[in-house]
């Protein structure tokens, strides 16, 4: 009985003391970023897909001021080069204002984090574009995931139109701009001096990297980057 | 058994003492006695563990009511600013309090203010605070002040050197506060600590002040759930925030990095437009709940004489409009890249066209895809949506000089000569969880908000945001001798970098009397030290 009373007194005293010390409440975030955008108007239905990811995937957006919002359902429209998010409160698909974003990222079906960055493209059809960052650094490897609505064989699409991927790859360095690159070995080698090309070939051979597709190209790029070979832009 | 009891008791005492030993604010003013219409300079040392980024310093009357106040950004656990004492203040004892939104401990400093038109009361007694929990400060006599004479002539130069002992220098945490100002003979104001009711569930003011309030149903007087509250700040690109109220009807807006006085408009409405709402803005807590005790005190003839001289000096300065302070420009706030309602699809400049008498004519003649009609004297406005191939059924977001308005009667009589620009967005716009079926933003040539009338659900106010930094004006070089120099504060260095040797100089003014040089600082353990030295100007 006495020990129970003592325990009660202890708990009571600790409670009183802690209530005296307690003052600071957990801060609430009143500066949560506000997503601004327009209503998403569905694209005409043709063969192929206008989206990079057909379903909404969990992702994060970064605003111009550097603030971030995560746990958003995101879908990238390759056709219009716009990021669509699903607002669960309004049950609406919203095209986020491109001008308000620095970039976005989402985790794809394979569990890979896909990072996109808004950059101004100065070449043909200049303007702000979302580029997927395949490899980041002083010299970045970027992909512009464009999908075109193009004519096609009626055997493929009855309407004679289909969404067809037309991806462009660029080597980019701030101040130097963009240099287009193709996903093959020769194009990669062309970005190096004659002197370094042999070295690149040797490194790729040593690391047993065969460029056959985009992922092997990125792998080759990263291997070369690790070895610090200067890229010719 | 006894041992267990003893251990519990010791544990309890230890925890209690921990709670009591919490650091408190150090609050200083340039002087103790003021005349109404003067400027009061302030310095605050903020506890290191303070989570708030903003400190509030209020001037409170003897009944506990806040008269005026400022908000300052806490930089390196300190802040300094000024309060312009209103001309209309009646003579009496006032309290300066420094507090944050979440800290329940406040520091209060007593000051005496004489109305510059009525002066001291005829009777020789005045009420002064008689609080017992005084702020304890440690005198640090090892600080040497060299070169400060006992007596100076008016308009004389003083050069002095402060030597900080190395033992102290290693302990100093923040900047030093150094001031040279006239003292009121026989009157030393007191600074004490008060505890207010615990502030729980409060939002932390990190980068700016928080504006809070409650929305109530006008009919029932009950807090209104799901009410929409708009806050707009007219600017080049108007700023906009919104809040959807919960069951308690409360709302809050954090105004990040706003400096000086900013015009804001707050509106509240029912999403379903069935109820009329009333906005009640929260005020900062005053000392009403824990009002300080007061006792009678006798005014000395010297103090009365000093106050009279002070009033004469203030009147002179006011007549000749001598500015004591220079307000430094606030940090430039990066402007938004585009308006909150998006990049408009159409921009029309009506004043460049022929004179159109009202908005119906403007919409008919100049605005593509905007239908403004006033059938049966009930105006309606609709925007055409290219996606729908039809007009939106709902009313778009209508902005008048950046302020949302739902009352179309305020725009119906606007003619083309009054409107500088109209921006139209034809798409359905989203702003957070708000939907705008199109946007029509009207910018008048003359940027005023007189068309919007204040009501229970619309409040217009000039909000005192964070006070910008100021510097004390020093006398202009080669000031002519026939120009009176009536400065009471000769030196004001609120953020002096602590060094082994600090050289300072100041010039005495035409004011004769007793002056005090005071140095305040804070050590690593949170305690405040000081050193003071007196001199006379005759």
Strand partners, B151: B536
CB contact under 8 A, B429 and A37: yes
| Residue A20 forms part of a structural domain | no
**pLDDT beyond 80 at A150:** yes
Tens digits of residue pLDDT in B397-406: 999 999 999 8
Report whether pLDDT(A26) > 60: no
In a domain, A16, yes or no: no
Task: Indicate if the pLDDT at residue A15 is higher than 80.
Answer: no
Is residue A68 located within the same domain as residue A148?
yes
pLDDT per residue over B462-507, tens digit each? 998 999 988 887 765 555 666 788 888 999 999 999 999 999 999 9
Asked whether B132 and B102 are in contact (CB, 8 A), the reply is no
B22 CB neighbours in chain A (<8 A) are 21, 23
Query: Does residue B153 carry a pLDDT above 60?
Result: yes
Is B104 part of the contact surface with chain A (CB cutoff 8 Å)? yes
How high is the pLDDT of residue A21? 41
A→B interface, C-beta within 8 Å: 2, 6, 9-10, 13-14, 16-18, 20-25, 27-28, 30-31, 34-39, 41, 64-65, 87, 89-90, 92, 94, 97, 99-100
Contacts of B168 (CB under 8 A, 6+ apart): B140, B142, B143, B521, B523, B529
The predicted model gives B50-55 an average pLDDT of: 91
Distance CA B71, CA B53 (A): 10
CB spacing of B15 vs A20 below 8 angstroms: yes
Residue A26 lies in a domain: no
**Number of alpha carbons in the 13 Å side-chain half-sphere of residue B310:** 32
Enter the DSSP assignment of A228: T
Give the model's confidence band at B291: pLDDT under 50 very low, under 70 low, under 90 confident, else very high: low
Query: Do A115 and A169 sit in the same domain of this protein?
Result: yes
Average pLDDT over residues A3-13: 57
Res. A6: pLDDT tops 80? no
Tokens 């601004």: give the residue. Answer: A36
Q: Judge contact between B526 and B48, C-beta under 8 A.
A: yes
Q: Please tell me the number of Cα atoms within 13 Å of A125 on its side-chain side.
A: 4
Instruction: List all residues 6 or more positions away from B240 whose beta carbon is below 8 Å from its beta carbon.
Output: B230, B231, B232, B233, B340, B341, B402, B404, B431
Residue with the bigger pLDDT between B109 and A123: it is B109
Residues A71 and A96 in one domain: yes
CA A20 to each of CA A47, B15, B23: distance values in angstroms, whole numbers, following the listed order: 68, 9, 14
Residue A25 has a pLDDT of 38
Q: What pLDDT, on a 0 to 100 scale, did the predictor assign at position B331? A: 76
Answer yes or no: is pLDDT of A17 > 60.
no
The CATH classification number of B346-452 equals 2.170.130
Higher pLDDT, B108 or A20: B108
* pLDDT tens readout for residues B7-38: 666 555 554 444 444 678 899 999 999 999 99
Collect all residues with Cβ–Cβ distance below 8 Å to B152 and sequence separation of at least 6: B158, B508, B535, B536, B537, B538
Q: What is the DSSP string of B213-264?
A: EEEEETTT-SBPTTEEEEEEE-SSS-EEEEEE--TT-EEEEEEET-BSEEEE
Q: How far apart are CA B2 and CA A223, in angstroms?
A: 72
| Pair B424, B440: CB distance under 8 Å | yes
Q: Are residues A192 and A171 in the same domain?
A: no
HSE, CB side, 13 Å, CA atoms: give it for residue B178.
20
> Which among A139, A135, A185, A145 has a CA at the least distance from the CA of A168?
A145
Q: Cβ of B103 under 8 Å from any chain A Cβ?
A: yes
Which of A2, A21, A87 shows the shortest C-beta gap to B18? A21
Mutate to test the interface with B, among A30, A65, A67, A100 (most CBs of B within 10 A): A30
Confidence of residue B534 (pLDDT cuts 50, 70, 90): very high
pLDDT at B126: 77
Per-residue pLDDT band at B237 (split at 50, 70, 90) = confident
pLDDT bucket at A131, cuts 50 / 70 / 90:
very high
Q: Give dist(CA B295, CA B126) in Å, integer.
A: 8
A132, A197: one domain: no
Q: Is B345 near chain A, with CB under 8 Å?
A: no
Rounded Cα distance between A147 and A145, Å, is 7
Q: Give the best-scoring range by mean pLDDT among A12-21, A120-129, B21-30.
A: A120-129
Q: Is residue B343's pLDDT more than 90?
A: yes
Residue among A10, A23, A65 whose CB faces B8 most closely: A10
Q: What is the average pLDDT across A10-33?
A: 45
Query: A5 vs B391, which has greater pLDDT?
Result: B391
Range with the poorest average pLDDT among A139-148, A166-175, B327-336, B410-419: B327-336
Do A38 and A150 fall within a single domain? yes
The pair of structure tokens assigned to B400 is: 């008048």
The answer to whether residue A13 sits within a structural domain is no
Q: What is the pLDDT of residue A18?
A: 44
Last residue of a domain, one of A181, A199, A224: A181
**Closest C-alpha among B433, B434, B451 to residue B442:** B451
Average pLDDT over residues B191-218: 84
Chain B residues whose CB is inside 8 A of the A30 CB are 203, 210, 252-254
Instruction: Say whether both A72 and A95 belong to one domain.
Output: yes
Whether A165 is covered by a domain: the verdict is yes
B204 vs A contacts (CB less than 8 Å): 25, 27-28
For residue B481, the model assigns a pLDDT of 64
What pLDDT sits at residue B111?
Answer: 92
Q: What percent of chain B has pLDDT over 90?
A: 51
Strand residues in B61-124 grouped as ranges (E) = 66-73, 78-84, 92-99, 105-114
Supply φ then ψ for residue A17, to 5 degrees.
Answer: -65, -45
Q: Do A87 and B1 touch (CB under 8 A)?
A: no
- Residue position matching structure tokens 């919007």: B452
- A1 assigned to some structural domain: no
pLDDT above 50 for B180: yes
Do residues A153 and A40 share a domain? Answer: yes
More confident of the two residues A10 and B264: B264
Spell out the residues 6+ positions from residue B67 whose beta carbon is closer than 8 angstroms to its own. B58, B59, B60, B61, B86, B89, B94
Residues of chain A with Cβ-Cβ distance to B383 below 8 Å are none
Average pLDDT of span A111-137? 92
Query: CA–CA distance from B254 to each of A116, B163, B209 (Å)?
Result: 30, 43, 6
Enclosing domain of residue A215: 183-233
pLDDT at position B294 = 76
Whether B288 has a pLDDT exceeding 60, the answer reads no
* pLDDT at residue B63 greater than cutoff 90: no
Question: Measured between CA atoms, how close is B31 to chain A, in angstroms?
Answer: 32
In a domain, A25, yes or no: no
Among A39, A97, A100, the residue with its CB nearest the CB of B428 is: A39
Query: Which DSSP state fits A12?
Result: H
Every domain of chain B and the residues it spans: 25-197+287-329+469-537, 208-281, 346-452
The whole-chain average pLDDT of chain A stands at 86
Q: How far apart, in whole angstroms, are the C-alpha atoms of residue A210 and residue A194?
A: 20
d(CA B144, CA B327): 33
Distance, CA of B216 to CA of B210 (rounded, Å): 20
| Cα distance between residue A209 and residue B322, in whole Å | 78
Average pLDDT, rounded, for chain B: 87
Question: Total structural domains in chain A?
Answer: 2
Tokens of B276: 């009329």
Say yes or no for a CB contact (<8 Å) between B342 and A38: yes
Residues A189 and A165 in one domain: no
Enumerate the β-bridge partners of residue B448: none
A36/B5 touch (CB, cutoff 8 Å), yes or no: no
Could you say which of B4, B338, B427 has the minimum Cβ distance to residue A99? B338
* Residue B152: other Cβ atoms inside 10 A: 20
| CA A95/CA A86 separation, integer angstroms | 9
Q: Are residues A54 and A145 in the same domain?
A: yes
Gyration radius of chain B over CA positions: 29
Give the H or E element holding residue B353: none
- Cβ distance B254 to A39 less than 8 Å, yes or no, reads no
Contact B130/A at CB under 8 A: no
Using left for φ > 0, alpha for ψ between -120 and 50, and beta otherwise, residue A212 falls in: alpha
Domain stops at, among A145, A166, A181: A181
**Cβ neighbours of residue B502 under 8 Å, at least 6 residues apart?**
B161, B162, B164, B176, B178, B496
Residues of chain A in contact with residue B239, where contact means CB-CB under 8 angstroms, are none
The torsion of the CA quartet B409, B413, B418, B419, rounded to 10 degrees, works out to: 60
What's the half-sphere exposure (Cβ side, CA atoms, 13 Å) at B342?
A: 28
Answer yes or no: is pLDDT of B186 > 50.
yes
Same domain? A174 vs A86 = yes
Return the higher-pLDDT residue of B341 and A13: B341
Phi-psi region of B257 (alpha: psi -120 to 50; beta: other; left: phi over 0): left
Tokens standing for B78?
Answer: 């300190």
Closest CA to B126 of B296, B300, B293: B296
| Rg of chain A in Å (alpha carbons) | 26
- Token output for B312: 């004469």
- Whether the per-residue pLDDT at B252 is higher than 80: the answer is yes
Average pLDDT over residues B370-392: 91
Query: Which pLDDT value is given to residue B14?
Result: 52
Q: Do residue A122 and residue A153 come from a single domain? A: yes
CB contact under 8 A, A27 and B51: yes
Query: To the nearest whole angstrom, how far is the Cα of B431 from the nearest Cα of chain A?
Result: 5
Q: Which residue from A23, A36, A90 is facing B342, i.e. has the nearest CB?
A: A36
Q: Using CA atoms, how far apart are residues A152 and A164, in angstroms rounded to an integer? A: 9
B387 near A CB under 8 A: yes
pLDDT (average), residues A174-180: 90
The whole-angstrom separation of Cα B239 and Cα B263 is 11
Going from the C-alpha of A66 to that of each of A105, A107, B241, B242, B248, the distances in angstroms are: 14, 20, 19, 21, 33
A25 to B201: CB separation less than 8 angstroms, yes or no: yes
pTM of this structure: 0.82
The beta strands (E) that lie in B286-362 are given as 294-298, 325-327, 346-348
Write out the H or E segment, with its range, that includes residue B125. strand B125-129
What ipTM is given for this predicted complex?
A: 0.83
Model confidence over B426-446: pLDDT tens digits? 999 999 999 999 999 999 998
Tokens of B163: 């030597």
Element at A214 (helix H, strand E): helix A214-226
Residue with tokens 């992702």: A59
The pLDDT, as a whole number, for residue A19 is: 43
What is the structure's pLDDT at B71?
A: 93
Evaluated on CA atoms A145, A149, A152, A154, the torsion sign reads positive
- Chain B CB contacts of A28 below 8 Å: 203-204
């Amino acid at each position: 009985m006495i020990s129970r009373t003592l325990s009660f007194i202890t708990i009571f005293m600790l409670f009183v003391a802690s209530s005296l010390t307690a003052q600071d409440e957990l801060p609430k975030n009143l500066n949560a970023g506000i997503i601004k955008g327009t209503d998403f108007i569905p694209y005409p239905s043709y063969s192929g897909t206008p989206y990079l990811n057909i379903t909404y995937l969990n992702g994060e957006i970064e605003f111009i001021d550097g603030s971030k919002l995560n746990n958003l359902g995101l879908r990238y429209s390759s056709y219009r080069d716009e990021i669509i998010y699903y607002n669960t409160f309004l049950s609406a698909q919203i095209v986020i204002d491109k001008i308000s974003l620095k970039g976005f990222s989402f985790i794809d079906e394979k569990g890979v984090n896909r990072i996109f960055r808004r950059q101004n493209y100065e070449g043909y059809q200049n303007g702000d574009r979302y580029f997927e960052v395949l490899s980041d650094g002083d010299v970045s490897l970027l992909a512009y995931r464009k999908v075109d609505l193009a004519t096609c064989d009626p055997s493929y699409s009855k309407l004679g139109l289909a969404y067809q991927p037309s991806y462009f790859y660029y080597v980019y360095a701030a101040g130097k701009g963009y240099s287009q690159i193709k996903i093959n070995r020769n194009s990669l080698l062309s970005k190096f001096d004659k002197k370094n090309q042999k070295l690149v070939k040797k490194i790729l051979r040593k690391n047993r990297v065969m460029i056959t597709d985009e992922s092997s190209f990125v792998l080759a790029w990263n291997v070369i980057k690790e070895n610090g070979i200067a890229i010719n832009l | 058994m006894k041992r267990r009891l003893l251990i519990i008791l010791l544990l309890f005492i230890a925890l209690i003492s921990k709670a009591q030993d919490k650091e408190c604010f150090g609050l200083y003013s340039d002087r103790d006695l003021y005349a109404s219409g003067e400027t009061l300079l302030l310095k605050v040392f903020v506890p290191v563990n303070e989570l708030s980024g903003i400190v509030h310093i209020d001037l409170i009357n003897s009944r506990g009511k806040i008269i005026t106040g400022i908000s300052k950004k806490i930089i390196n656990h300190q802040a300094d600013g000024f309060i312009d004492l209103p001309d209309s203040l009646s003579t009496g004892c006032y309290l300066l309090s420094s507090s944050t939104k979440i800290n329940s401990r406040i520091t209060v400093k007593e000051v005496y203010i004489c109305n510059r038109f009525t002066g001291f009361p005829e009777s020789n007694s005045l009420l002064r605070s008689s609080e017992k929990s005084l702020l304890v400060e440690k005198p640090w006599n090892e600080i040497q002040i060299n070169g400060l004479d006992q007596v100076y002539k008016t308009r004389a130069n003083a050069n002095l050197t402060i030597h900080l002992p190395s033992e102290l220098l290693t302990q100093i945490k923040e900047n030093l506060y150094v001031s040279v100002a006239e003292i009121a003979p026989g009157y030393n104001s007191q600074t004490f600590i008060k505890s207010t009711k615990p502030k729980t569930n409060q939002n932390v003011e990190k980068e700016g002040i928080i504006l809070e309030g409650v929305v109530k149903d006008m009919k029932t007087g009950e807090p209104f759930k799901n009410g929409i509250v708009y806050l707009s700040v007219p600017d080049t690109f108007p700023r906009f925030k919104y809040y959807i109220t919960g069951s308690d009807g409360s709302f809050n807006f954090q105004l990040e990095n706003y400096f000086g006085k900013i015009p804001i408009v707050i509106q509240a409405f029912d999403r379903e437009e069935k109820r009329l709402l009333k906005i009640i803005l929260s005020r900062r807590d005053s000392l009403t709940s824990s009002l300080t005790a007061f006792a009678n005190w006798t005014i000395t003839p010297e103090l009365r004489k000093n106050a009279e001289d002070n009033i004469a000096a203030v009147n002179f300065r006011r007549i000749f409009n001598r500015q004591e302070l220079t307000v430094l420009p606030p940090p430039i706030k990066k402007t938004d890249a585009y308006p909150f309602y998006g990049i408009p699809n159409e921009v029309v400049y009506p004043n460049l066209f022929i004179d159109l008498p009202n908005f119906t004519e403007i919409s008919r003649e100049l605005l593509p895809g905007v239908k403004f009609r006033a059938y049966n004297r009930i105006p309606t406005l609709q925007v055409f949506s290219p996606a729908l191939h039809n007009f939106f059924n709902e009313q778009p977001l209508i902005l008048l000089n950046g302020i949302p308005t739902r009352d179309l009667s305020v725009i119906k009589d606007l003619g083309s000569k009054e409107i500088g620009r109209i921006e139209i967005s034809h798409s359905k716009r989203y702003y957070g969880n708000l939907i705008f079926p199109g946007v029509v933003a009207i910018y008048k040539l003359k940027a005023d908000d007189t068309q919007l009338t204040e009501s229970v659900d619309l409040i217009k106010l000039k909000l005192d945001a964070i006070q910008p930094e100021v510097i004390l004006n020093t006398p202009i070089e080669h000031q002519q001798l026939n120009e009176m120099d009536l400065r009471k504060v000769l030196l004001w260095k609120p953020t002096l970098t602590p060094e082994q040797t600090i050289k300072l100089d100041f010039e005495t003014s035409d004011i004769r009397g007793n002056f005090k040089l005071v140095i305040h600082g804070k050590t690593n353990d949170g305690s405040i030290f000081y050193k003071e030295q007196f001199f006379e100007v005759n």
